[in-house]
Structure 1
Amino acid sequence: MLFRFILLGLIAHLLYGCSQTSDLSPANTKSVAQPVAIAYEKYQLKNGLTVILHEDHSDPLVHVDVTYHVGSAREEPGKTGFAHFYEHMMFQGSANVADEQHFKLITDAGGTLNGSTNRDRTNYYQTVPANQLEKVLWLESDRMGFLLPAVTQEKFEIQRETVKNERAERIDNQPYARRHERIGEVLYPEGHPYSWLTIGYTEDLDRVDVNDLKAFFKRWYGPNNAVLSIGGDINVAQTKAWIEKYFGDLPAGPEVKAQLPAPASLSENKFITMQDNVHLPLVQIVFPTVYARHEDEAALDVLASILGSGKTSVFYEQLVKTGKVVQAGVSHPCSELACEFNLVALVSPESENSLATIYSEIETILADFESRPFDDDALARVKANIKASTIYGLQSVSGKVSTLAYNETFFGKPDLMNEDVERYSEVTREDVYRVFERYIKDQAAVVLSVVPEGQPALAVKPATVSQPERQVVANTAEQQLSTNQTLTSDFDRSQIPAAGEPPVVTIPSFWQLKLRNGIQVLGVTNDETPTVTITLDLDGGMLLDPVDKAGLSTFTALMMNESTLNYSNEDMSNALAKMGSSISFASNGRYTQVFISSLTEHLNETLALLEEKLFNPAFKAEDFARIKQQLLDNINAQSKEPGAIMEQVKTAVLWGGENRVGLPPGGTAETVSRITLDDIKTFYEQYYVPAKGTIVVVGDMTPGQITTYFDFINTWQGDDYQIADYGDFPEYDGQQIVLVDVPGAAQSLVRMVERAMPYDATGDYFRAQLMNFPLGDDFNSRINLNLREEKGYTYGAFSAFNGGKTLGWFEAGADLKQEFTAAGIMELLGEINHYQQRGITDAELSYMQNAFTLSEALEYETPLDKASFLRRLLAYDLPVNYKKAQKAILLNISKAEIDAVAAKALHPELLQIVVVGDKNVILPQLETLGIAIKEVRPAGLQ
């Protein structure tokens, strides 16, 4: 149940992911093997609730996870989406908790919370300062035992609309996203619980009533079908006493029997075609295999890695590197009842390869696999990845608690890590060939072709299976709901537990030094896990691009991830993978960044490879040609993605289409087409120098070791450079609507923008963030509660001040139901205008102060958290004690000060309104607003 989320580009859609996950494969979850066990205590209450406790005093916080062994696989045909629907309902209050109060109480306590649903389970989780644990247990127990009295028809209707909005936003309005639904319908027989998506069908959501939903809760949400996992800075004895107090008197629910594994089975290939608003055709081949923790699962995971994971894989070598496809991969996601072996390829129209040709290429790869020997490195890579990813999973309490909860829920044993080490370590070459022959070779599969609208002839083959017409037999029998016995407790459940003494929070103790060439290094020595994370930042990034060659910084960073003078792509990838290390270059905004992660035991070797990549890029012509085509294909693909279109137009509205910052970070098709290999080499020579570089180190490493480890960085030389000033920004006479027509779009994306102040730690920007919190930067904000919870117009609405080193802007928006586009715009403007004129309430001020000050306990837990803190110090040249200054402002700021900030910083009448949607549907609405409308067509939009 995500409130704020990031829409990724085309590549993210290859592995569709949101709060509704379905992958139980140990190669892809935090339950993979590791050499270090997680200490825990497990016991069970009389009502069947399983409890797992993990004590970790490294940070003053606790993480609480309640996992119910119910997902969409427990639903009935015709009543799909219930499990996910109820995830939403669980945040709508219970007998002693008001509507939306769960979010408010946790945020007010300085914590974070969410929930997620997949095929097989639903979980709810919170991370809070350690003194707030009792409050979380009270909240979770109240909705476990006392939810139904608070379930009303009104809440039911509101959340039904919210779920439908979520489906529209995540599935129906996203290129490629509906393919998972189509594959499930064909791969599994009718009625199989994996034959529908977790989010369900809209018509099913429309069909059911509140009594259906209540019956689902009563059937599956008993304590005997749940695992309560708690980890962090806890007193075990006190925690047990609270658990008994709040959960001990809850009655058990009906008996829950385990579902038997039910892998799919196909007697022949099934070809299906899906027409979609896409630029790049896609082919996906899905073989049914086993189920989670089947004896062949590990070998199938290794097979998937060899075939299509990373630059050492067969798919990369024969399909991607040769330029035949834009991207290709193989995965083996597993769920409780079944696993699927996925082979996916995106084909560039410019490659002159059809889907049929690529399908034939994949068939040849599979036919030749048994005659193509693979070396021991293939097995070593998989095993190293398991070790490294598991150790990295130990860096947060939430990671450890999630692992324990997952293993207990599905396999009845929280600690399976050593078993996983063993089963993956024992996979042999013969095992890989055996599972290939049994599950893949000459076996039937579902073959899906995703083609542009109106071009079914581009499919691999004509469809042999049409989309099945759903046969739903209406259940006319009245739901028989047993009468709840009146539950009593020996304490007053209506009283919110008081928090304990606030934990003492201190910023991480860090060290700093300067290398001989002037690079400043900040570091935190942290030996909680045997890992080291390093970030090298070079100031400038995309700001160094010539406007007519926008994307040069991005292109150069991508080339730095390619071959070096002494290593091929495959050799470098293999060397890193065998150690579980990673090195990646990226251009992010105004910085070129190099990210390095390594287990401590392999740090020397990893840094030797960094030296090779940093100082000896090969810049081969064939790599250049391939990367350029991939960039162009990705840009063209984004021309079909509403979220990417919105970002492009919004950016141009803010900064101007002729200004570098007004163009996409990766450039446009026109600017990228102009970039030459010589441009890449020149950019590298001029800007990959230490003059504006900084380094952050977090992990099992002391400052005294820097001289040894970073000796090669010390010798790095290069002339300083200047970052050019911005060009002129556009000026507007007044408010206007900038409309982009996307025919057939399922939603209207609306963003309202205005340039604002850049980042500062204690000045106008910081105060504007405080002011905006109750307006649109919290689940319980005015904007979100209005448009999502009251009106049902959207899955989520927000406002935010975004600030960088030299630029900033204000933004508000939502992805709206098309029929409420104009109404949603009016509500957004109305909320901003009302807040600008009347300001914050006393209750909102207190809530904001608590949320910002108490959350500090969560800010420095992981190495990435610590690195983020240090990078902020360097990027903005902040004083070490800036957090103390912020806290003083927070605790002393008054309503009058916040109101003054709102009056000064919010200008609803000047906001430029960008709308991306189906013009034929929404233009008549927009014309009623009396705001000037300007229609634009972004570069590349077809």
Structure 2
Amino acid sequence: MKLLHNYFLLCFLLISIIPSYSQKEKSKEFKVDFEKFTLKNGLQVILHVDRSDPVVAVALTSHVGSAREKVGRTGFAHLFEHLLFLESENLGKGGLDKMSARIGGEGANGSTSRDRTNYFQTVPKDALEKMIWAEADKLGYFINTVTDPVLAKEKQVVKNEKRQSYDNKPYGNTFSVISKNLYPTTHPYNWDVIGSLEDLQNATLEDVKSFYNRWYVPNNVTLTIAGDFDVNQTKIWVEKYFGEIKRGEAIPKMEKQAVTLAETKKLYYEDNFARLPQLTLTWPSVYEYHPDSYALEVLATYLSTGKKAPLYQSLVEDKKLTDAVALYQYNSEIAGQYMLSVTAFEKTNLNEVMDGINQGFKEFEAKGISDQDLNRIKAGQETAFYTNLSSVLGKGFQLAQYEIFAGDPGYITQDVKNILAVTPADVMRVYEKYIKGKHFVATSFVPKGEANLALKGSVLATVVEEKIVDGKEDAFDASVAATYQKTPSSFDRSVEPAYGESPDVKLPTVWKNNLSSGLKLIGIENHEVPLTQFLLQIKGGMLLEEKNKIGVSNMLAELMTKGTKNKTPEELENAIESLGATIKAYATDEGIFISGNSLAKNYSATIALVEEIIMQPRWDLKEFDLIKQSTLSTIQQQKAEPNSIAKNEFKKLIYGKESILSHNRIGEEQTLKNISIDDLKKFYAANSSPSVSIFQIVGAVSQNEVTKSLASLNKNWKAKKVIIPAVKTPDGIANSKIYFYDVPGAKQSVIRIGYLALAATDADFYPAEIMNYRLGGGGFASQLTQELREGKGYTYGIGSSFSGSTNKGAFVIGSGVRSNITFESVSLIKEIVENYGKKFNDNDLEVTKGYLIKSNARAFETLGAKLGMLYDISNYNYPNDYAKKQEDIVKNTSISDIKRLSEKYLNADKMIYLIVGDAATQLKKLEEIGFGKPILLNESVAK
């Protein structure tokens, strides 16, 4: 399950800064109504009705995180999050994950923080009773199913998660070093949420049972249900399934435990995966919803975000030491921390970065923050709040957050008052109270051999590095069934509830229009939230670049939002932010995109800025130089990050040297040197045209309003002939080969297996996706996950997918596995692929059909999902109702169809096998796979 170290970052509904509404507009004002009640056993229940889509989100939140753990048993809350998905007395093996695949759920998942653990899923509304039954079974009828083998297996999964998230990535141990030095050993925030590998290994079955009995009781849990449901019936179900679960012992309140530092602490660490030095400063701060947290939030945004930010001006503009500054609050239930992080350019001495930070602070001290800037920041918070509430799950999270940490789901009213009450004087006051002249923890994470770049006076940080030893891990058989006497109940809980009335899935109404310039429009009008999201796509991208200047379109996209002819970069940024909008530009292999979102009331003004960006480029040389340096730093960092290495090397292998698509779209160090700003101008003049562009929009705006907003752009953007070259497609390989990229000392091996397969426009593309669901596309319903994660504990996650556009894309199986079982993992993947079609049975087909058909109920819930639908329709010539037509394909798919597709597209002996890992320990054994001696792709210590 996904581990979250930060709470969902809550934004606030800034009602009073919205211009006055007419009476009609007031009736449409957005609200999050709820009903709250408490069962006799203490379970808190929050209900929110939203009938915009036939779906329901169910979230179970337990008020227990790593802060409730004991020293020597750290990581328990997170380990428990994993365990609770595996089985319960009446759900059986596979638990909620298995049921999710049948009912069309949105991948049952969970997250753990310092203070709470939550479990959540969005399902079609006809499965609500099933979800309430399942969540109650997890809470009250789970613990008997946990065995020693199950615990041993899940320990391996969590260890793999730690390796992936901490030990095998740049700066992965930064947070751990900060926690241990900011908080005393007696403080419950002293350790990581994920805990230590040693503590995980030492966890016993008795520990697990004690933890469950203490914290997983109704009086420590909040159940949130949001979506399209009958309130009275739902209350009856909640009482039926949860009501007889016994109340636990009283739960003590977590008392606030603010910390102070007697001195500034400076630490450094030579990071095996870092290629750039990173400085992080952390000050003791305030707990969640502390009165000062609101002004501190504004302070963080003002100091670090945007061209006008004092820290940005000092570190980026003046000293040119970095391309970005991050400053944010990490506030938790009993304490908080304020964190400033700067990843500097290559070989930069972090003492210079510290000087730049101090310079930025002095600038702020001299000028403070203006009312105009304060209102600009609040406008962005308003838009972000609505965006967070665009799904029923987002609404459920928000309500649960207020209930647990503020004591009332209705705390939103006070929250709004607090944020609106922030004044410029408050922002300066909290700066002086928590930052200016105060002690902090400074961590310098630098590349190996570059300790000289660390902050002066730094001492070596303690980081425990795991040694991967063959045969060290415990053996187990997770399939061993637990023997126990079932927990008594007043009714037969083994009977899964029936489906409710099948939801009437209505596809959004799509409108289209072609303007005289050649610009194509496609949209969906939707008034669930007062927002618009749009995407302007200019086709071409890297496909139109010269091979010796790869990276032009990427740099061009970066430069497009850095000012216009009549607006400096700072002025353009302020104009966008003052509308509470965002406008971003980015490049892909096949296009340049301008994306944005705004409040519906500010849509026309936002589009006017988009037009200015397109028609009046600034070509700011200073910004160009910064983008080039920033891109160079990204390339350098990618060369040390195993997952980035795997992505870039796999592209080379599947597309071949002749194809433009074999390249990393951001370029290489040599190609960047060849690129000048004149190259960007030339590329833009030749390839920016409405004739190869599509405008896609979703939100609270009509077709007529959209067409009117683009009238000026349609008139002024002159069409030109742009020919997008056909992509050379290499022939398929005759026999598989294994390629190895050496990352000495890697704790994990990153695996990529696949080949160049299908375009999204191929007739077999969607049928192949159907075929792949049970192999690796179905999350916990897939064989790859069940075998490698649930059966063996080899990995934290594995999956397979087909990707494609109008050009062929890859079929790829991807995972990160414990280093010392690289050979075993590759062998098992190969075996699964070889036998997949041969063993595909009626149950596999039933699960596949059940998920793919039922999941349509929630397929287009959010604005982003609807925008994705428009992208597919406009790019691949899909019919407007393609989701319904795909549903028919699923219904008519047979086992023989799956077998035919498997034979055609899953030949394990004609795939490319790429391993990124430690060659010294893993390379030689891979010869036993049967594809000959592995080919080493880089210079290595292993010969």
Same fold (TM over 0.5): yes
Tell whether the 8 Å contact from 2:66 to 2:113 is kept in structure 1 after alignment.
Answer: yes
How far apart are the structure 2 equivalents of 1:251 and 1:22?
A: 31
How far apart are the structure 2 equivalents of 1:290 and 1:199?
A: 23
How far apart are the structure 2 equivalents of 1:184 and 1:59?
A: 42
Residue 695 of structure 2 corresponds to residue 695 of structure 1: yes
* 1:883 positional shift: 2.5
- Secondary structure of residue in 2 paired with 1:583: strand
Q: Which moved more, 1:126-135 or 1:300-309?
A: 300-309
> Per-residue CA shift, 1:319-372, capped at 9, x if unaligned?
11232213212112211111211111111126xx41111112212322443212
* 1:280 positional shift: 0.8
In structure 1, the residue matched to 2:332 is 335
Tell whether the 8 Å contact from 2:11 to 2:382 is kept in structure 1 after alignment.
Answer: no
* 1:469 positional shift: 9.1
The match for 1:182 among 172, 177, 180 is 177
In structure 2, the residue matched to 1:29 is 10
* 1:465 positional shift: 6.6
How far apart are the structure 2 equivalents of 1:431 and 1:161?
A: 48
In structure 2, the residue matched to 1:121 is 116
In structure 2, the residue matched to 1:755 is 756
In structure 2, the residue matched to 1:478 is none
- Secondary structure of residue in 2 paired with 1:206: helix
Q: Which moved more, 1:40-49 or 1:423-432?
A: 423-432
Tell whether the 8 Å contact from 2:314 to 2:357 is kept in structure 1 after alignment.
Answer: no
Tell whether the 8 Å contact from 1:524 to 1:866 is kept in structure 2 after alignment.
Answer: yes
Letter matched to residue 431 of structure 1: D
Change beyond 3 A, Cα 1:469–1:648: closer
Residue 862 of structure 2 corresponds to residue 862 of structure 1: yes
In structure 1, the residue matched to 2:470 is none
How far apart are the structure 2 equivalents of 1:697 and 1:732?
A: 41
Q: Which moved more, 1:138-147 or 1:311-320?
A: 311-320
Tell whether the 8 Å contact from 1:91 to 1:99 is kept in structure 2 after alignment.
Answer: no
In structure 1, the residue matched to 2:19 is none
1:494-513 matches, within 5 Å, as: 494-513=494-513
Tell whether the 8 Å contact from 1:71 to 1:118 is kept in structure 2 after alignment.
Answer: yes
In structure 1, the residue matched to 2:430 is 435
In structure 2, the residue matched to 1:925 is 925
The match for 1:109 among 89, 100, 103 is 103
1:250-289 matches, within 5 Å, as: 250-276=245-271, 277-289=273-285
> Per-residue CA shift, 1:537-571, capped at 9, x if unaligned?
11112211111111111111001021211111111
* 1:466 positional shift: 4.4
In structure 1, the residue matched to 2:4 is 20
> Per-residue CA shift, 1:491-541, capped at 9, x if unaligned?
210001110121111210122212121222111111111111111111112
Q: Which moved more, 1:543-552 or 1:848-857?
A: 543-552
* 1:937 positional shift: 2.2
> Per-residue CA shift, 1:828-878, capped at 9, x if unaligned?
000000114x14110000110111011000011111111111111000011
In structure 2, the residue matched to 1:817 is 818
In structure 2, the residue matched to 1:422 is 417
1:701-740 matches, within 5 Å, as: 701-715=701-715, 716-727=717-728, 729=730, 732-740=733-741
Change beyond 3 A, Cα 1:659–1:487: closer
> Per-residue CA shift, 1:422-471, capped at 9, x if unaligned?
1111111111111111111110000110111122121112324742899x
Residue 70 of structure 2 corresponds to residue 76 of structure 1: yes
* 1:378 positional shift: 2.1
1:882-921 matches, within 5 Å, as: 882-921=882-921
Tell whether the 8 Å contact from 2:12 to 2:416 is kept in structure 1 after alignment.
Answer: no
In structure 1, the residue matched to 2:796 is 795
In structure 1, the residue matched to 2:623 is 623
Residue 300 of structure 2 corresponds to residue 299 of structure 1: no
Residue 343 of structure 2 corresponds to residue 346 of structure 1: yes
TM-score normalised by L of structure 1 = 0.94
- Secondary structure of residue in 1 paired with 2:923: helix
In structure 1, the residue matched to 2:936 is 935
* 1:87 positional shift: 0.4
Which runs of 5 or more structure 2 residues have no equivalent in the other structure? 17-29, 466-483
Change beyond 3 A, Cα 1:72–1:452: same
TM-score normalised by L of structure 2 = 0.93
How far apart are the structure 1 equivalents of 2:820 and 2:189?
A: 32
Tell whether the 8 Å contact from 1:20 to 1:199 is kept in structure 2 after alignment.
Answer: no
How far apart are the structure 2 equivalents of 1:138 and 1:213?
A: 23
* 1:148 positional shift: 0.9
Tell whether the 8 Å contact from 1:278 to 1:451 is kept in structure 2 after alignment.
Answer: yes
Which runs of 5 or more structure 1 residues have no equivalent in the other structure? 3-18, 471-483
How far apart are the structure 1 equivalents of 2:353 and 2:737?
A: 47
Tell whether the 8 Å contact from 1:690 to 1:717 is kept in structure 2 after alignment.
Answer: yes
1:149-188 matches, within 5 Å, as: 149-188=144-183
- Secondary structure of residue in 2 paired with 1:889: helix
In structure 1, the residue matched to 2:240 is 245
In structure 2, the residue matched to 1:15 is none
In structure 1, the residue matched to 2:479 is none
Tell whether the 8 Å contact from 2:54 to 2:504 is kept in structure 1 after alignment.
Answer: yes
In structure 2, the residue matched to 1:833 is 834
Letter matched to residue 29 of structure 1: L
How far apart are the structure 2 equivalents of 1:452 and 1:517?
A: 52
Tell whether the 8 Å contact from 1:787 to 1:793 is kept in structure 2 after alignment.
Answer: yes
- Secondary structure of residue in 2 paired with 1:529: coil
Letter matched to residue 89 of structure 2: A
In structure 2, the residue matched to 1:780 is 781
Change beyond 3 A, Cα 1:822–1:32: farther
Q: Which moved more, 1:499-508 or 1:725-734?
A: 725-734
Tell whether the 8 Å contact from 1:583 to 1:597 is kept in structure 2 after alignment.
Answer: yes
Tell whether the 8 Å contact from 1:377 to 1:574 is kept in structure 2 after alignment.
Answer: no
- Secondary structure of residue in 2 paired with 1:357: helix
How far apart are the structure 2 equivalents of 1:23 and 1:704?
A: 40
* 1:677 positional shift: 0.6
- Secondary structure of residue in 1 paired with 2:208: helix
In structure 2, the residue matched to 1:94 is 88
Tell whether the 8 Å contact from 2:799 to 2:814 is kept in structure 1 after alignment.
Answer: yes
How far apart are the structure 1 equivalents of 2:114 and 2:359?
A: 34
Residue 385 of structure 2 corresponds to residue 390 of structure 1: yes
In structure 2, the residue matched to 1:639 is 639
* 1:803 positional shift: 1.9
Letter matched to residue 164 of structure 1: K
* 1:599 positional shift: 0.4
- Secondary structure of residue in 2 paired with 1:686: helix
How far apart are the structure 2 equivalents of 1:512 and 1:469?
A: 58
Tell whether the 8 Å contact from 1:30 to 1:403 is kept in structure 2 after alignment.
Answer: no
Change beyond 3 A, Cα 1:135–1:345: same
* 1:918 positional shift: 0.8
How far apart are the structure 1 equivalents of 2:731 and 2:450?
A: 40
Q: Which moved more, 1:538-547 or 1:921-930?
A: 921-930
Q: Which moved more, 1:529-538 or 1:41-50?
A: 529-538
Residue 316 of structure 2 corresponds to residue 320 of structure 1: yes
Change beyond 3 A, Cα 1:760–1:732: closer
Q: Which moved more, 1:578-587 or 1:923-932?
A: 923-932
In structure 1, the residue matched to 2:525 is 525
How far apart are the structure 1 equivalents of 2:907 and 2:464?
A: 51
- Secondary structure of residue in 2 paired with 1:64: strand
- Secondary structure of residue in 1 paired with 2:330: coil
> Per-residue CA shift, 1:883-922, capped at 9, x if unaligned?
3322222112111111111111111011111000011111
Letter matched to residue 285 of structure 2: T
Residue 876 of structure 2 corresponds to residue 881 of structure 1: no
1:321-720 matches, within 5 Å, as: 321-322=317-318, 323-349=320-346, 353-464=348-459, 466-467=461-462, 487-715=487-715, 716-720=717-721
Change beyond 3 A, Cα 1:792–1:856: same
How far apart are the structure 2 equivalents of 1:84 and 1:34?
A: 37
How far apart are the structure 1 equivalents of 2:917 and 2:152?
A: 25
Letter matched to residue 335 of structure 1: S
Change beyond 3 A, Cα 1:328–1:679: same
How far apart are the structure 2 equivalents of 1:431 and 1:882?
A: 53
Change beyond 3 A, Cα 1:819–1:468: closer
User: Equivalent pairs: percent with the same residue?
Assistant: 34
In structure 2, the residue matched to 1:475 is none
